[in-house]
Amino acid sequence: MQKVQTGKVLEFYSDSCLVQMNGELFNMRPMKKMPLCVGDNVSIKMESNEYLINEITKRKSKLRKYKGGKEKVIASNLDYLGIIIACKPELITGFIEKWIIISRYSNIEPFLVLNKIDMEIPKDVLETVKIYKSIGIKCFEVSAKNNIGLDALINYITQSMSIFVGQSGVGKSTLTGKLINQDLKTKMLSKGQGQHTTSTSKLYQVVNNENTYVIDSPGVRDLEIDNIPKKVIEESFVEIFSCKKLCKFTNCSHIKEEGCEVLKMLSENKISQQRYDTFIEFMSRDHYVKN
């Protein structure tokens, strides 16, 4: 019986993939049409002296986006999603909330990275970091440019697969580049391996850290959450979700009802106004998936 080998998809093109197998890199074609993405673990067969991708093994997580109601998987088997913020550009808290929701829905652990700590950090940014720490979100303070705080971050993601997201200008490429010891701002696309698809995602190994990977996906900045069930959105606001069970009315909107535990905790500053406002905004939309 032919021995089936396994590999990991590092990069994919229109007609082939770059696959890591037994510590070596191979350009492989799938045996049949399949929805491959960066991070996939695949089984491999040898046919006519050529390695071919036989099938995708079960994914433990998948980061996805939607267009026209259709799902597209951006990356698979991720353990962590790092949301990068900085003193500049201006912080958009809704961006953070959406990525926390997307992470929870995708079975990926979110964490926060405050970059550019070599610069003066505005009070509102420090307050935002404090809010997320208070609800159990891990936060790292770094300066990717000056190599400050990177050791703690690397220790956290060791033996795992991660992806970083952030608004343009927060230093995502600089941070990812430092972790993998490459300049992603000037790195050219591979040649001679077919046409790149619309995704330019690629999986890299963190320097000097075996089995520690980072996926660079330049096109992933902000995703919509319309296709995420409303229940997932509600549960992602953990401090509000835990309070709602104590509300006087089971169908409480947490806006003006008497006996609302959420409003009580808000008045006592035990729930942040910032998180509450975003929660109400997200939950008031009527086009989310209901279940």
Please tell me the predicted confidence (pLDDT) of residue 201: 82
For residue 159, pLDDT over 90 is answered with: yes
Does 90 lie in the same domain as 40? no
Contact 193, 28 (CB under 8 A): no
State the pLDDT confidence band at 114, using cuts at 50, 70 and 90: very high
Residue 235 sits in a domain whose CATH number is: 1.10.40.50
Does 263 lie in the same domain as 249? yes
**Does any domain span residue 222?**
no
Prediction pTM value = 0.88
Contact 189, 25 (CB under 8 A): no
Does 148 lie in the same domain as 212? yes
**Does any domain span residue 142?**
yes
**Does any domain span residue 225?**
no
Give residues with Cβ within 8 angstroms of 200, minimum separation 6: 189, 217, 218, 219
Selection from 175, 170, 172 nearest residue 89 by Cα: 170
State the pLDDT confidence band at 101, using cuts at 50, 70 and 90: very high
Please tell me the predicted confidence (pLDDT) of residue 190: 45
Give residues with Cβ within 8 angstroms of 135, minimum separation 6: 238, 239, 275
**Does any domain span residue 93?**
yes
What is the count of structural domains for the chain?
3
**Does any domain span residue 154?**
yes
Which residues constitute the domain of residue 149? 62-185+193-216
Please tell me the predicted confidence (pLDDT) of residue 290: 53
Does 197 lie in the same domain as 147? yes
Positive/negative CA dihedral, 136, 142, 144, 148: negative
| pLDDT tens digits along 163-184 | 999 988 899 999 999 999 988 7
**Does any domain span residue 197?**
yes
**Looking at per-residue confidence, does 7 or 185 come out higher?**
7
Does 207 lie in the same domain as 68? yes
Please tell me the predicted confidence (pLDDT) of residue 248: 92
Selection from 62, 26, 28, 24 nearest residue 201 by Cα: 62
Does 82 lie in the same domain as 16? no
| pLDDT tens digits along 196-248 | 333 468 999 998 888 899 998 876 777 788 888 999 999 999 999 999 889 99
Q: Compute the chain's Rg from CA coordinates.
A: 21
Does 212 lie in the same domain as 75? yes
For residue 136, pLDDT over 70 is answered with: yes
State the pLDDT confidence band at 286, using cuts at 50, 70 and 90: low
Percent of the chain with pLDDT over 90: 65
Please tell me the predicted confidence (pLDDT) of residue 200: 65
**Looking at per-residue confidence, does 72 or 135 come out higher?**
135
Does 210 lie in the same domain as 257? no
State the DSSP code for 13. Answer: B
Does 82 lie in the same domain as 27? no
Residue 26 sits in a domain whose CATH number is: 2.40.50.140
For residue 194, pLDDT over 70 is answered with: no
Tokens 């036989």 map to which residue?
54
Q: What is the mean pLDDT of the chain?
A: 88
Does 113 lie in the same domain as 86? yes
**Does any domain span residue 290?**
no
